[in-house]
């Protein structure tokens, strides 16, 4: 056959069978419950429906609340007409933003308190020494900081295990699964007391954790339980980390939002920073909650190192490695949210207004805790409910079981996670009584069924 005839010959048909995609064996990942629950809530047409699932701040009318100080900062940025406002950041990020973010976490004397005054630490030499230990890099909010920190530790230190509180923010599990470090739970929450399980946590870390293991810690307002260690317990935990050679990884998503105090909410991190012998650790910092910048994705990762005198270049080498990971992942962080945070934190006037916004948000959360507790007591709802007041921050672990949660959703259209976690900001003066009656109804039904 001539060469031209070979090329012109028809291609014989493939065997008569359905082709298989190369992706046919993909596993089905677990669904993200909060977002799935939110979609179910939005499709519900019941007029009295209540959303206690999504972890975002809401006003008393149930609406989003752009912080007034953020709106003012946005106006200032718009009026400045900076021609470079859409340019790339460096791979490390906005240097001024990073310094302000670092000082906010660690309480250095260059910080400004919410009342607009400069913090006087008094030990400038120690501050300078501590600052030199810290490597900071801008991230895509707290999730990006957790992911970058996990990737960096997995590649550089090769920890055998990462100890994750049970329960925890679900994304901790996903992030550490993706970097290939074996995940192990430690019993953070005591269902009987509905509080932090200090004894079991200590026992687990002392007897099972190995030198070089990473331990995830919620710096304040533990998600999902709202149960935090006391200052005394934090101090004792730091000693255990020193003795065992463990690597703390703090997730700081609620500084100032939890208690209304920047200092109170950063106590654990600052204590670990000033421990002797020194502890090396990570802090994933988010500005989603305390600035209301959920969609702007402003955050930072801070790596606290302990270089010897002969290792003065260690922080720069660590930054180079982090930057290398960022470059291959997303090149650099977005600048819109970080510019807002930088504008607020660098202005005494705006800083003071931000402090007022924080007190507004944290104060409303506390008021809703009190209101729900009062309503349950007024109804005589079976069980003890003091934990609602003892817990802190956006979330509360109610103690409701999964069947009770599903019953409340079906009967009363009140949406919460299957674990019984509720977002306190979803409560308001118009619905808190309704929610309390819904809880009372289901709890009484279970209590009566047990007695029969």
pLDDT tens per residue, range 210-219: 999 999 999 9
Q: Is 251 a catalytic residue?
A: yes
CA dist 173 and 161 (Å) reads: 12
Contacts of 354 (CB under 8 A, 6+ apart): 67, 69, 114, 291, 344, 345
What pLDDT does residue 29 have? 87
Q: Which of 163, 169, 354, 385 is catalytic?
A: 169
**pLDDT above 70 covers what percent of the chain?**
91
What pLDDT does residue 6 have? 52
Per DSSP (E only), the strands in 253-349 are: 281-286, 298-304
What pLDDT does residue 298 have? 97
**Is the pLDDT at 118 greater than 70, yes or no?**
no
- Mean pLDDT of the region 147-174: 97
Cis peptide before 381 (omega within 30 of 0): no
What pLDDT does residue 451 have? 55
Q: Which of 127, 251, 265, 357 is catalytic?
A: 251
CA dist 168 and 397 (Å) reads: 12
Number of Cβ atoms within 10 Å of the Cβ of 75 = 10
What pLDDT does residue 120 have? 47
Condensed to tens digits (0 to 9), the pLDDT of residues 194-210 reads: 999 999 999 999 999 99
What pLDDT does residue 449 have? 57
What pLDDT does residue 17 have? 61
For residue 186 the two structure tokens come to 């430690």
Q: Cα angle vertex 281, ends 209, 331, to 5°?
A: 120
| Nearest CA among 355, 294, 288, 340 for reference residue 76 | 340
- Mean pLDDT of the region 261-288: 97
Residue 431's pLDDT band, with cuts at 50, 70 and 90, is very high
Residue scoring higher pLDDT (74 or 311): 74
- Mean pLDDT of the region 87-103: 96
Residue 445's pLDDT band, with cuts at 50, 70 and 90, is confident
**Is the pLDDT at 5 greater than 90, yes or no?**
no
- Mean pLDDT of the region 247-259: 97
**Is the pLDDT at 334 greater than 60, yes or no?**
yes
What average pLDDT is seen over the chain? 91
CA dist 350 and 260 (Å) reads: 16
What pLDDT does residue 35 have? 87
Condensed to tens digits (0 to 9), the pLDDT of residues 357-367 reads: 999 999 999 99
Q: Which of 289, 353, 385, 440 is catalytic?
A: 289
420: left (phi over 0), alpha (psi -120 to 50) or beta: left
Structural domains in the chain plus CATH codes: 33-65+363-451 (3.90.1150.10), 88-346 (3.40.640.10)
**pLDDT above 90 covers what percent of the chain?**
83
Beta strand 414-415 with 50-51 is: parallel
What pLDDT does residue 122 have? 52
**Is the pLDDT at 153 greater than 60, yes or no?**
yes
- How would DSSP label each residue in 232-264? HHHHHHHHHHHHHT-EEEEEE--TTTSSS-HHH
Condensed to tens digits (0 to 9), the pLDDT of residues 342-354 reads: 999 999 999 999 9
Residue 184 backbone phi and psi in degrees, to 5: -130, 140
What pLDDT does residue 8 have? 61
Stated as kind and residue range, the H or E segment containing 185 is: strand 182-187
**Is the pLDDT at 452 greater than 80, yes or no?**
no
How far is the CA of 270 from the CAs of 86, 98, 288, in angstroms?
35, 17, 21
Q: Is 63 a catalytic residue?
A: no
Stated as kind and residue range, the H or E segment containing 423 is: strand 421-423
CA dist 252 and 283 (Å) reads: 7
Contacts of 273 (CB under 8 A, 6+ apart): 106, 130, 279, 304
Residue 247 backbone phi and psi in degrees, to 5: -110, 105
Residue 18's pLDDT band, with cuts at 50, 70 and 90, is low
Condensed to tens digits (0 to 9), the pLDDT of residues 51-86 reads: 999 889 999 988 999 999 999 999 999 999 999 999
What pLDDT does residue 447 have? 57
| Nearest CA among 380, 300, 292 for reference residue 333 | 300
Determine contact, residues 355/88, Cβ cutoff 8 Å.
no
Torsion over CA: 334, 336, 337, 340 (sign): positive
CA dist 127 and 160 (Å) reads: 33
What pLDDT does residue 116 have? 43
- Least confident segment among 45-49, 120-124, 289-293: 120-124
Residue 311's pLDDT band, with cuts at 50, 70 and 90, is confident
* DSSP β-bridge partners for residue 216: 249
Determine contact, residues 181/215, Cβ cutoff 8 Å.
no
**Is the pLDDT at 110 greater than 50, yes or no?**
no
Crossing angle between the packed helical segments 95-106 and 336-345, to the nearest 10 degrees: 60
274: helix, strand or coil: coil
Determine contact, residues 108/131, Cβ cutoff 8 Å.
yes
**Is the pLDDT at 119 greater than 90, yes or no?**
no
Q: Residue 334: how many CA atoms within 13 Å on its side-chain side? A: 12
Q: Is 289 a catalytic residue?
A: yes
Q: What is the CA radius of gyration of the chain?
A: 25
**Is the pLDDT at 281 greater than 80, yes or no?**
yes
């Amino acid at each position: 056959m001539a060469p031209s005839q070979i090329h012109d010959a028809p291609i014989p048909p493939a065997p008569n069978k359905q082709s298989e995609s190369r992706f046919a064996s993909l596993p089905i990942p677990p669904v993200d419950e909060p977002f799935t629950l939110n979609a179910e809530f939005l499709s519900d047409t019941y007029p009295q429906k209540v959303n206690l699932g999504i972890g975002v701040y809401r006003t008393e009318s149930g609406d989003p609340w752009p912080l007034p100080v953020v709106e003012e900062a946005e106006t200032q940025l718009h009026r400045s007409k900076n021609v470079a406002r859409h340019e790339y950041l460096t791979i490390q990020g906005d240097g001024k933003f990073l310094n302000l973010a670092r000082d906010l976490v660690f309480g250095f004397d260059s910080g400004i308190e919410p009342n607009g005054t400069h913090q006087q630490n008094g030990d400038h030499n120690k501050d300078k020494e501590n600052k030199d230990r810290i490597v900071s890099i801008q991230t895509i909010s707290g999730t990006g900081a957790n992911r970058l920190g996990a990737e960096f530790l997995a590649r550089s230190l090769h920890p055998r295990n990462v100890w994750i509180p049970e329960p925890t923010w679900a994304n901790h599990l996903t992030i550490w699964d993706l970097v290939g470090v074996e995940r192990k739970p430690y019993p953070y929450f005591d269902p009987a007391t509905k509080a932090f399980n200090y004894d079991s946590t200590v026992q687990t870390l002392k007897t099972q954790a190995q030198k070089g293991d990473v331990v995830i810690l919620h710096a304040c307002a533990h998600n999902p339980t709202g149960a935090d260690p006391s200052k005394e317990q934090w101090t004792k935990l730091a000693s255990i980390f020193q003795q065992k050679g463990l690597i703390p990884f703090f997730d700081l998503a609620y500084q100032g939002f939890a208690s209304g105090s920047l200092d109170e909410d950063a106590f654990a991190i600052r204590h670990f920073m000033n421990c002797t012998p020194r502890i090396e650790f990570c802090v994933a910092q988010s500005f989603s909650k305390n600035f209301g910048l959920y969609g702007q994705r402003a955050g930072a990762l801070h790596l606290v190192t302990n270089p010897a005198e002969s290792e003065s270049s260690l922080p720069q080498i660590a930054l180079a490695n982090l930057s290398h990971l960022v470059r291959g992942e997303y090149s650099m962080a977005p600048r819109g949210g970080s510019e807002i945070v930088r504008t607020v934190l660098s202005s005494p006037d705006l800083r003071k207004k931000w402090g007022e916004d924080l007190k507004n948000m944290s104060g409303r959360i506390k008021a809703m805790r009190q209101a729900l507790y009062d309503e349950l007591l007024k109804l005589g709802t079976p069980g003890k409910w003091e934990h609602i007041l003892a817990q802190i921050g956006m979330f509360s672990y109610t103690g409701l079981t999964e069947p009770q949660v599903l019953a409340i959703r079906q009967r009363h259209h009140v949406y919460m996670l299957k674990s019984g976690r509720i977002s306190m900001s979803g409560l308001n003066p118009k619905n808190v009584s309704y929610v309390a009656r819904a809880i009372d109804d289901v709890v009484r039904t279970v209590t009566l069924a047990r007695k029969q």
